[in-house]
Amino acid sequence: MRTRFVISSGNSMSSKQDGHRPMLNKKDLTGHRTVLLHEAVDSLCIASSDVVVDATLGGAGHASAIAEKLGKNGVLIGFDLDESAIERARNALKGRPMRSTSAGQATKSLDSPVDGPTVHLVNANFRNLRAELEKLEVKQIDKALFDLGWSGYQLEAGRGFSFLKDEPLSMSYASAQGKSLLTAATIVNDWAEESIADIIFGWGEEHYSRRIAKRIVEEREKSPIRTSLQLAEIIRSAVPPAYRHGRIHPATRTFQALRIAVNDELGALREGLAVAWQMLAKGGRIAVISFHSIEDREVKTLFMAWEKSGEGKRITKSPIRAGREELLANPRARSAKLRVIEKHKVQIYK
């Protein structure tokens, strides 16, 4: 039996609006290292017939490893709001012979039939997990993985994620930029100074949030703030000299805060995890990799609540961290924390 490989668009920002499918380039093949790959996949204890959700495809490293664990009766469902991530996953997984079906198109066979899982790739935010799984007629899942890190590919996406590049100030994960889409440019040019400061402090944990917000407002009165490099220079000019030459770039925390705000990352995380937990089978597991303290607190709080209610048990009381070998190969992994929980009781959710 050949595996089935299905691509679907879960939102209005699909390739139909762009008129083309994103193309891969050489950087796509080398721009990202999957963090805690073996630890995350092994911690899920995947059985060959499981239904597994990879909530954040990214570079498809975890998805490929999960597919290795699944047999012909298994199902892998991968989500990503970034259409280029869907394309990367399609290319990464087609090395294992599968049939590929795009929405509204006929099935086309690939080479060398082997037993393997059915794969669905969904171009949607994982906060829409329930609606998208219902479309696939999936009523229950066995395992779910949420890798909350943003991939190295996004630095090359031209959407203003990097404070070292002069790019349009979007910071949206969505490939298509709709008129109603919130952008970082909207926040820094239109929002009140107090609101900007609150975001930078609350979601970036930036001690100089008030100074930065004040300088942003001063500069936007002279001319609109349009690019990431322009904003980075404004932030740099707002902080004390010693802070400009610290361990991290002075714009790091502000850019993090704006990215979280633009994509409503914490709201999406709460919704996505809650639905995954509700749809999780008894004995099923959820693993989450977080990269900053705000995300980790959200995950830890949810897991502790589920454990306290008797619904589940945390497999990891303390988070799993990257080992020395991985840190040497990928310094970005130093901030990664992996938490895992197993479901022990099935509740009836309305």
The continuous run of DSSP H or E covering 335 comes out as: none
Domain boundary among 263, 278, 301: 263
pLDDT score recorded for residue 5: 47
- What pLDDT does residue 150 have? 66
Q: Is 348 among the domain residues?
A: no
3-class SS of residue 106: coil
What is the pLDDT at residue 30?
40
Residues 123 and 192 in one domain: no
What is the SS3 assignment for 139? coil
Same domain, 24 and 127: yes
DSSP 3-state of 27? helix
Q: In terms of residue numbers, what domain contains 228?
A: 157-263
β-strands 3-9, 98-102 pairing? parallel
SS3 sequence, 151-191? Answer: CHHHHHCCCCCCCCCCCECCCCCCCCCCCCCCCHHHHHHHC
Residues 184, 92 share a domain: no
Listed residue (16, 288, 32) closest to 153, CA to CA: 32
Q: At a CB cut-off of 8 Å and minimum separation 6, what does 37 contact?
A: 61, 62, 65
Q: Are residues 28 and 120 in the same domain?
A: yes
Residue 74 lies in a domain: yes
Are 64 and 166 part of one and the same domain?
Answer: no
> Are 102 and 251 members of one domain?
no
Cα–Cα dist 30/86, whole Å: 17
Identify whether residues 275 and 218 lie together within a single domain.
Answer: no
Which token pair is 234? 């404004």
Chosen domain end from 224, 242, 263: 263
122/193 same-domain check: no
Q: Is 198 exposed, middle or buried (0-12, 13-18, 19+ CB in 10 A)?
A: middle
Same domain, 115 and 230: no
Q: Is residue 248 part of a domain?
A: yes
In a 10 Å sphere around its CB, with 0-12 CB exposed, 13-18 middle and 19+ buried, how is residue 305 labelled? exposed
Q: How many CB atoms lie within 10 A of CB 320?
A: 18
For residues 9 and 174, what is the distance between their CA atoms, to the nearest angstrom? 12
Q: Sign of torsion, CA 159 163 164 166? A: positive
With a CB cutoff of 8 Å and minimum separation 6, the contacts of 192 are: none
Concatenate the DSSP letters of all residues of 225-268 into one string.
--BHHHHHHHHHHHS-HHHHTSSS-TTHHHHHHHHHHHHTHHHH
Question: Residue 180: which CATH number?
Answer: 1.10.150.170
Query: What residues have CB less than 8 Å from 48, skipping those under 6 apart?
Result: 69, 70, 71, 73, 74
Q: Does the reported pTM lie above 0.85?
A: no
CA 231/CA 238 separation, integer angstroms? 11
pLDDT of 95: 59
What does pLDDT average to in each consecutive run of 10 residues of the chain (350 residues)? 47 33 33 82 96 93 94 92 87 61 32 68 94 95 92 61 85 67 94 98 96 98 95 96 91 94 94 97 97 94 97 94 85 89 79
Clarify whether residues 255 and 164 are in a common domain.
yes
Number of domains in the chain: 2
